[in-house]
Amino acid sequence: MEFIIDNEWFYKAISDVNKAVSLKTPFPILSGIKVIAYNDSLVLIGSNSDIVIEKVIPLTVDGVKVLEVHKTGSVVIPAKHLSEIIKKLPAKVHVRVNEKQVVTIQSEEIVTKIFGFNSEQYPKLPLIDETNYAKIPCTELIEIIKQTAFAVSKSESRPVLTGVNISFKDHYLSFAATDSHRLALRELVLESSINGSFIVPSASLNELTKLIHNDNGEIRIYVTSSYMAFKTSSFTLFSRLIEGNYPNITGLLPKNAKTTIILDTAQLLTGIDRACLFASEWKNNNVQLEIVDGKKIKISSNSSNIGEIEETQNIKMINGETDLTISLDGSYLINALKAIKEEEIRLSFGDTMRPVLIEPINNPSYIHLISPVRSY
């Protein structure tokens, strides 16, 4: 194998696949990046037990030549050292591999040798059915992930809750996440030939958002028996699926509200953020909401050891009963409010111990539920 490549493009691709490479793996070969030189491209693969990232570098990018392949072939190179070296090389790099898997990397007057691994021992990629897929703009996928993935359970006691439930039904896609105290649900219409319900680890989706980053193109979603694959023109990310049945969430959505109020999203967020300063003494970051004078909301928290904080904000519109006091987990409320980009939100309250429904005004595609906490 022999090729000459632009050092910055090479480093960028190494950094991307490196996100899937773990240094703690018991299999030394998995701490490496598989590099495959084809006549028309260079492919880099990094993987761990949860995700596989495949990155493709073509011969030219935007008309500029970035790669020249002299001899096809493949090798696995220790990821940490490859990444550190390429980062510090000043100009384009010349990579050669001999029959003993010794990788020679030269850039100007600098010559480096790294001991590689035989690529035959590297695990094969999952196979995908190229004909069955859903298609969505990258920017929209990032938004959906950011609106839901934070709500998954951090505890491993119910593994299905650590993932996001991604369901395809005809042309509808929904993302749902819950840790059993709160729920985030986002729906949308898209072009798809997939049907079914899958659970994807939230960590995989978070890595996906970093990989997509500034990509303005489209992404295709494929499903295999044990993987979901996300593919753009420059990379593919394969994520393991979580096995098991996701709980039925439609029954959780409250039907009748005793009180609904409309508030300014950004103002409520800064108010809750401030109230959380004293809420951290409580196990559930207790923040109290109370309707006062039928037209204002008082946000407060207190700690017997440290002090207390309170502020009042105007309610933009109120319907139903005006007698309301409730305690919520402030950090949950902050998560939910940060996921909403609309200027105003509607909060709907049922009985004191029923979940609060949070909806952005003029956007029926996203809803959020938070269960109250006891304030004593």
Task: Give the residues across from 298 on adjacent strands.
Answer: 290, 312
Q: What are phi and psi of 215, to 5 degrees?
A: -70, 125
Decide whether 52 or 268 has the Cβ nearer to a copy of itself.
Answer: 268
Under the criterion CB under 8 A, does residue 28 sit at the interface with a copy of itself? no
Name which position in 65, 70, 88, 169 contacts a copy of itself (CB under 8 A).
88
For residues 185 and 254, give the distance between their C-alpha atoms in angstroms, rounded to a whole number.
14
Name which position in 209, 259, 260, 313 contacts a copy of itself (CB under 8 A).
313
Structure tokens at 79: 């990821």
Structure tokens at 273: 């953020």
Under the criterion CB under 8 A, does residue 281 sit at the interface with a copy of itself? no
Under the criterion CB under 8 A, does residue 321 sit at the interface with a copy of itself? no
Decide whether 244 or 307 has the Cβ nearer to a copy of itself.
Answer: 307
Decide whether 308 or 343 has the Cβ nearer to a copy of itself.
Answer: 308
Name which position in 61, 110, 127, 266 contacts a copy of itself (CB under 8 A).
110
Residue 257 · residue 301 · CB < 8 Å: no
Give the closest residue to 205 by CA, choosing from 126, 124, 151: 151
Residue 356 · residue 254 · CB < 8 Å: no
Under the criterion CB under 8 A, does residue 62 sit at the interface with a copy of itself? no
Name which position in 96, 258, 274, 295 contacts a copy of itself (CB under 8 A).
274
Give the closest residue to 205 by CA, choosing from 143, 261, 267: 143
For residues 178 and 185, give the distance between their C-alpha atoms in angstroms, rounded to a whole number.
9
Under the criterion CB under 8 A, does residue 111 sit at the interface with a copy of itself? yes
Render 129-179 in DSSP notation, one character per residue: -TTS-EEEEHHHHHHHHHHHGGGS-S-TTSGGGGEEEEEEETTEEEEEEE-
Structure tokens at 211: 């990989």
Q: What is the DSSP letter of 258?
A: S
Name which position in 90, 123, 217, 244 contacts a copy of itself (CB under 8 A).
90
Under the criterion CB under 8 A, does residue 312 sit at the interface with a copy of itself? yes
Q: Closest distance between a copy of itself and the C-beta of residue 100, in Å?
A: 12
Binding mask 235-264 for a copy of itself (x = CB under 8 A): ------------------------------
Q: Closest distance between a copy of itself and the C-beta of residue 85, in Å?
A: 6
Which residues sit at the interface with a copy of itself, rule CB under 8 A? Answer: 78, 81, 84-85, 88-90, 102-103, 108-115, 270, 273-274, 277-278, 305-313
